[in-house]
Amino acid sequence: DGGITQSPKYLFRKEGQNVTLSCEQNLNHDAMYWYRQDPGQGLRLIYYSQIVNDFQKGDIAEGYSVSREKKESFPLTVTSAQKNPTAFYLCASSMTGDQPQHFGDGTRLSIL
């Protein structure tokens, strides 16, 4: 089945530690995205990538980094500079144009 796989489902971070969230898609989509969702809120865009080896900052990129070395993969690193990382993180992908974005099942990140 084609889809988007996010791992792990739950992640805990210690103070001062960087952690990486995985996102893999086998839909052959060009564009990929990372969103953050806080309780009772909508989604806010962290980073997005239209093609391999290219990505742009979204609305809340500070404290995060990404890479896009392969079309299928768009990992997100939450760095120690992100002071309030506890949230639900969703990865999405889409074809270019007006096609809807398809989402993974998300990763819940908490601070130890």
Partner 1 sequence: AQKITQTQPGMFVQEKEAVTLDCTYDTSDPSYGLFWYKQPSSGEMIFLIYQGSYDQQNATEGRYSLNFQKARKSANLVISASQLGDSAMYFCAMRDTGFQKLVFGTGTRLLVSP
Residue selected from 10, 15, 42, 54 as contacting partner 1 according to rule CB under 8 A: 42
Q: Which is nearer to partner 1, 37 or 67 (CB)?
A: 37
Using the rule CB under 8 A, which residue among 65, 79, 80, 101 binds partner 1?
A: 101
Longest dimension (CA), the chain: 41
In the β-sheet with 64-66, what is the strand arrangement from edge to edge? 4-7, 19-25, 76-78, 64-66
The torsion angle over the Cα atoms of residues 14, 91, 31 and 1, rounded to 10 degrees, is 130
> Of residues 26, 51, 105, 110, which one binds partner 1 by CB under 8 A?
105
Q: Which residues are at the interface with partner 1 (CB under 8 A)?
A: 31, 33, 40-45, 48, 50, 58, 88, 90, 92, 94, 96-106, 108
